[in-house]
Structure 1
Amino acid sequence: MPTSLPHDRPVLDIDPFSDAAVDHPIELDRAIRAAGDVVWVPKYGFWVTGRDAVIREVFNDWQRFSSAYGTGLTNVLRDEPWRKPSRILEADPPVHTPNRKVLARVLSIAAMRKLAEEFRITAEAMVDRLVEERRFDIASDLAFAFPFKVLPESVGLQPEGRHHLMPYSELNFNAMGPKNERYLAARKIVEEQGTFEYVAAQMAEENLIEGGFGSQIYAAAHAGEITHEDAGMLVRAFISAGIDTTVFGIGNTLMALIERPDQWDILRADPSLARQAFDEGLRFMAPSPVIGRTTPAATELAGVAIGAEEKVLMWLAAANRDPARWERPDDYDIRRKTVGHLAFGTGIHACVGQMVARLEAETVIAALARKVKRIELTGAPERIYINWLRGYHAIPVEVIPA
């Protein structure tokens, strides 16, 4: 139960980044949500909220709750960040506005239509090969393998060096949390592999394959919409945050379907529900369960006084099961109307790449549903241990072809 510090700060004494928290994510979410509208976590010195209504207030008021100080635990304006802050993820208007406008156009509905057939062909071929094998790891061989192939190709990243993408992304999400052993281990890997050098080179216009998202972003720089430096930073956003969240979102959704054969049967009967199944998977087990904001000045949130330059972490995974917002919140139901879940955020900083993620997930899940009658676990799934993400490194399965 929360206690109180001086100044009437409601307190929740937890470590949301511990191994125990990773192993018991739903219990953690419930504890955060039950503690109150907004509570202080003394171990790390931040506020946390897991209530849907409170999180929406934070998301929708960027003046009071800024992204420019960093969306993780580090105050990037005062403390040296591990890499230069993003011009879209860690920026507010007016800096944020032109960069988001460019990305929104590059990742438009029309752009997704152009990619849909290419994604479908790739997904069909990948699923056909795995179904023929019958036994495989659905986390690594499909949930990871499909986005890892199609997204870098869509961005225009060179084939050489793509093995750097996951270590760099894992460092990105570990760095958003505390500088613990996970962060130190992830940083050691990228430093030893030369990953920083790869990323710096791949951000450059001359190293991108013509026709991809990257070259389209640089075209906007040539047109004077954004700077060339900002164009490189937007390409970096795909490298640092474009794969892991989709990979683990697909894996979490497949895990929910494997554990619920009745839901898989519904999807098999109507593979057009694949996108809905994915969105429900995001609500049910958000791959990126938390995002942060910082108060530029003292303010009040849900009746609690918050000081200037204090971190407020929005625990999206808890809000996505908030019974004040969702009926049967702990049930995974692919027929649920999931409009309004918070896994992609909301407001001006809502995930600009969400249509790409949905297209990737919808395509590969639908291909699987058309070709597989049943998916059965052949071993214990293995969770990831990344500070800012939830998902599985391994889900060993056997499939029964349709």
Structure 2
Amino acid sequence: MQQIDDRPILDVDPFGQQARDNPDALDRQIREAGPVVWVPKYGIWLTGQDSIVREVFSDWRRFSSAFGTGMTNVVREEPWRKPSVILEADPPVHTPNRKVLARVLSPAALRKLAVGFQQEADRMVDALVARGRFDLAADLAFAFPFKVLPDAAGLRPEGRPHLMPYSTLNFNAMGPRNDLYEAARKVVEDNGTFAYVAEQMREENILPGSFGAEIYAAAHNGEISHEDAGMLVRAFISAGIDTTVFGIGMTLMALIERPDQWDMLRADPDLARPAFEEGLRFQAPSPVIGRTTVAATQLGGVALGGDEKILMWLAAANRDPARWADPDTYDITRRPVGHLSFGTGIHGCVGQMVARLEAESVLRALASRVRRIHLVGTPERVQINWLRGYHSIPVEVEAA
């Protein structure tokens, strides 16, 4: 680390190939560099310490989401799509939209889905166990959320293959406009994905009895605008699948690599939820989120200018020894309450309970049917600016 003009400098590319190949080393470097550091390559601030991240999350008046939660300042620069009315907005715009989405995704609503989610997870796992060998990432960690979340959201079956390319572009676009972004953009431009998303957001294309239908009902009641209702439906398309897919996959990898932890889960299926929560703390699928300073301010004893981006490196903060005992150990008996993978404060992930329900369903289904999971090939990591995870985990299972 250098220091120039009183700014603590960290000369690192957090989105480069070396960083993607060595995520734990990057996280440690960011966290240990200091409370807040300046990255000259991109002209942004980074923080990977738990207390500093919490301070930023808790004060939207100083650290705004309305300028975009990625690297692009969506007010001053042309964004690749219209900004989200839930993720990239502050009160008062944020408040009514958040209220509607929180009601639609309430614990009571999710309890109605729980039985169906578990039945679908059981069905998928039964079929995979019968095969013996399969790809745990593609055939389960991806396949399950890709089925149940679009169903619950009311997205029509036709055109769903567009969901992942669109979401991949969304998360690549939050980072730098590098080769990953350009490749993801070309995919969606070449296959008609933008047209699919525009149509799927429309009320007439939402299936009745779904989350999407409830969102549009709120628009008819005057709680939100019809335009904002469409934007909230878009959130299910752009942000609700990848993060859960990769969170489940990385949790499963942690369990495969630690047979003692898998045995504990098999012995007590009620550890399914803690196993996922600890998985999110241990390996955050969405390791970073950004804010913009509204005016010059102080953070962690460092002077920040106005209208500057600060990226909170959640994966680093989730292993901050100032917050967590033995932070580099995956332990499903830990109570990881307060990990930052879902954020916190008024912009905390509104769909986090859906993700938990999906992951718990999968882990329970596997733990009740599989005695041991063996890797039979090399897992392959995803290459996305803003996400971490696996797109391939080749395994063989021993039935219980």
TM-score range, shorter chain: over 0.9
What does the per-residue CA deviation read over 1:26-68, in whole Å, with 9 as the maximum and x for residues that have no partner? 0000000010000000111100000000000000000000000
Alignment partners' CA distance in 2, 1:118 and 1:188: 36
Aligned to 2:149: 151
The reply to whether residue 70 of structure 1 matches residue 68 of structure 2 is: yes
Percent identical across equivalent pairs?
Answer: 74
Residue 4 of structure 2 corresponds to which residue in structure 1? 5
CA distance in 2, matches of 1:364, 1:329: 25
Q: Which residue of 1 aligns with 2:93?
A: 95
Does the alignment pair 1:124 with 2:100? no
Partners of 2:218 and 2:269 lie apart in 1 by 37
Q: Distance in 2 between matches of 1:34 and 1:42?
A: 18
Instruction: Please tell me the residue identity of whatever aligns with 1:5.
Output: I
1:321 to 319, 344, 356: 319
| Structure 1 outlier segments of 4+, above 3 Å | none
The count of aligned residue pairs is 400
Structure 1: state its 5+ residue gaps.
Answer: none
- Following superposition, the deviation at residue 4 of structure 1 comes to 1.1
Aligned residue type for 1:172: N
Please state how far the C-alpha of 1:164 moved relative to its aligned partner.
Answer: 0.2
TM-score of the superposition, structure 2-length normalised?
Answer: 1.00
CA distance in structure 1 between the aligned counterparts of 2:326 and 2:252, rounded to whole angstroms: 20
Q: Is residue 2:32 matched to residue 1:24?
A: no
* 1:83-134 superposed Cα distances (whole Å, 9 cap, x missing partner): 0000000000000000000000000000010000000110000000000000
Q: Which residue of 1 is the match for residue 371 of structure 2?
A: 373
Following TM superposition, by how much is the alpha carbon of 1:16 offset from its aligned partner in structure 2, in angstroms? Answer: 0.5
* Cα deviations by residue, 1:370-400 (Å, 9 ceiling, x for unpaired): 0000000000000001000000010000000
Separation in 2, partners of 1:276, 1:119:
18
Structure 1 distance, partners of 2:342, 2:76, is 27
Which SS does the other structure have where 1:313 is aligned?
Answer: strand
What residue is the counterpart of 1:196 in the other structure?
Answer: 194
Deviations 1:229-254 (A, max 9, x none): 00000000010000000000000000
* Secondary structure of 1:380 counterpart: coil
- Aligned partners of 2:304, 2:240: CA distance in 1, in Å? 32
Q: Tell me the residue number matched to 1:383.
A: 381
* TM-superposed deviation, 1:220: 0.3
Using the alignment, how far apart are the partners of 2:263 and 2:93 within structure 1? Answer: 47
The superposition leaves residues 172-199 of structure 1 with CA deviations (integer Å, 9 ceiling, x where unpaired) of 0000000000000000000001000000
Q: Distance in 2 between matches of 1:368 and 1:272?
A: 13
Cα distance in 2, alignment partners of residues 16 and 297 from structure 1: 25
Mind listing any 5+ residue stretches in structure 2 that lack a counterpart? none
CA distance in 2, matches of 1:275, 1:19: 32
Partner of 1:162: 160
**Structure 1 counterpart SS, 2:64:** coil
Question: Counterpart of 1:52 in structure 2: which amino acid?
Answer: D
Tell me how far apart the structure 1 counterparts of residues 278 and 3 of structure 2 sit (CA, whole Å): 36
* 2:397 is equivalent to residue 394 of structure 1: no
Alignment correspondent of 2:139? 141
Distance 2:300 2:336 in 1: 25
What CA distance in whole angstroms lies between the structure 2 residues aligned with 1:362 and 1:23? 29
Which residue in the other structure is 2:220 paired with? 222
**Which residue does the alignment assign to 2:248?**
250
CA distance in 1, matches of 2:273, 2:201: 31
Aligned letter for 1:254? Answer: L
Deviation of 1:352 (Å): 0.1
Listed one character per residue, the Cα deviations across residues 288-343 of structure 1 (whole Å, up to 9, x for unaligned) are 00000001111110111101110000000000000000001000000000100000
Q: Counterpart in 1 of 2:57?
A: 59
Q: TM-score, normalised by structure 1?
A: 0.99
What SS does structure 1 have at the residue aligned with 2:212?
Answer: helix
CA RMSD of aligned residues (A): 0.4
Cα separation, 2, equivalents of 1:267 and 1:365:
9
Which of 32, 35, 40 pairs up with 1:34?
32
Aligned residue number for residue 275 of structure 2: 277
Instruction: Give the alignment partner of residue 302 of structure 2, picking from 282, 301, 304.
Output: 304
